[in-house]
Amino acid sequence: MRIPALALLAVVFSGAVPAPAQFGGVLGRARQKIEESRQKAKPVTDRAEKAAAIRPWTDEEEQQIGRATAAKMVAMFGVVEEPAVVRYINLVGATVARQAPRKMPYRFAVLDTEIVGAFALPGGYVFLTKGALLRMENEAQLAGALGHEVVHIAERHLETEIRSKRGSAWAIEEAQAQQLPLDQSIRQRADAFLHDLFNMRLSQDKEDAADRDGALMASRAGYSPRGLLTFLERMAQVNQSEENKRLFGQLLSTHPSFESRMQALQQTVAAAGDRGELLEARFRGAVPH
Ligand SMILES: [Zn+2]
């Protein structure tokens, strides 16, 4: 099955027109493709590690890799296309992202899967899963969770992480990229990036920074800083299926533990003060449970 993923991407992030969302079975095939692409690239590991260490992405590369990776995520999982939900998550996301330390066009979408997780891709693309959204209770939790992802993007956390890891699929691909035509290079680097996204965990200091700054951004936007904390408390209790363990993503990685993250976040929340909105009724109205 061939999926016009880039075309669909434009639709789901603008929320304009319904599009086909039947991607059953695509996830497994996409994973296989990503793995094949990674295997092909293996022999140049040493060169790759050197290349990866040298030069950070330009803003343009970041946008291109992010867009290609986001298209693959959409193709793998499908996205929730109800215009009201698309509008709502982009409204809340944009409100929080206005407080971000790096300005860029942040975009938000809901992956159509029961898996609980969230992903921050280069170039401003934030994905929350339907499974995560349905476990939230109010808009402050959503704002905190989206803020967490926005911080990962603003600070280029994943790019920094994969540059620092030996044998990251992306680092290997990066070394070959110089030899390829640009569109092919972007495609292959997106495959490799996605592989790392699913297989690497961010360091504790990056997760703590995303929790802290995400909660503070939500607070400055007018939400209760407790939103992210109470969402993490709920998530700590979620039954962790095998699928969830693999795909928890960058919001809900289980290493570092929820307990240590919540402990660190408590101090931020206490310092921010007990104020701001929860907006439970508006959340319930916008997200049908
Ligand atoms: Zn995270």
**Looking at residue 119, what DSSP letter applies?**
E
Distance 282 CA to ligand 1 centre (A): 26
Strand extents, DSSP E, 167-281: none
C-alpha distances (whole Å) from 36 to each of 9, 41, 198 are 24, 9, 15
Whether 39 shows a pLDDT value over 80: the answer reads: no
Residue 8 pLDDT: 45
Work out whether strand 118-121 and strand 125-129 pair parallel, antiparallel, or are unpaired. antiparallel
Kindly indicate the confidence band of residue 223, based on its pLDDT and cuts at 50, 70 and 90: very high
Mean pLDDT of 120-147: 95
245 versus 192: the higher-pLDDT residue is 192
Whether the pTM exceeds 0.85: the reply is no
Distance 196 CA to ligand 1 centre (A): 14
pLDDT tens across 241-251, in order? 555 555 555 55
Of 73-77, 130-134, 210-214, the range with the highest mean pLDDT is 210-214
Whether residue 265 contacts residue 134, with contact meaning beta carbons closer than 8 Å, is answered with no
Distance 171 CA to ligand 1 centre (A): 21
For helices 182-199 and 157-164, angle between their N-to-C axes, nearest 10 degrees? 90
Distance 101 CA to ligand 1 centre (A): 16
For the chain, the structural domain boundaries read 5-286
Whether 24 shows a pLDDT value over 90: the answer reads: no
Distance 18 CA to ligand 1 centre (A): 30
Distance 182 CA to ligand 1 centre (A): 30
C-alpha distances (whole Å) from 90 to each of 6, 93, 135 are 19, 5, 18
Whether residue 169 contacts residue 195, with contact meaning beta carbons closer than 8 Å, is answered with yes
Distance 271 CA to ligand 1 centre (A): 21
Task: Read off the amino acid at residue 162.
Answer: I
Neighbours of ion ligand 1 (CB under 5 A): 207, 210, 250
Distance 39 CA to ligand 1 centre (A): 27
Distance 38 CA to ligand 1 centre (A): 24
Kindly indicate the confidence band of residue 22, based on its pLDDT and cuts at 50, 70 and 90: very low
Whether 49 shows a pLDDT value over 90: the answer reads: no
Distance 152 CA to ligand 1 centre (A): 7
Distance 252 CA to ligand 1 centre (A): 7
Whether residue 149 contacts residue 70, with contact meaning beta carbons closer than 8 Å, is answered with no
- Rounded distance between C-alpha atoms, residue 286 and residue 208, angstroms: 29
Structure tokens given for 240: 């962790």
- Rounded distance between C-alpha atoms, residue 14 and residue 225, angstroms: 28
Angle ∠(70,174,251) on CA atoms, nearest 5 = 40
Distance 1 CA to ligand 1 centre (A): 33
Distance 234 CA to ligand 1 centre (A): 16
Distance 179 CA to ligand 1 centre (A): 33
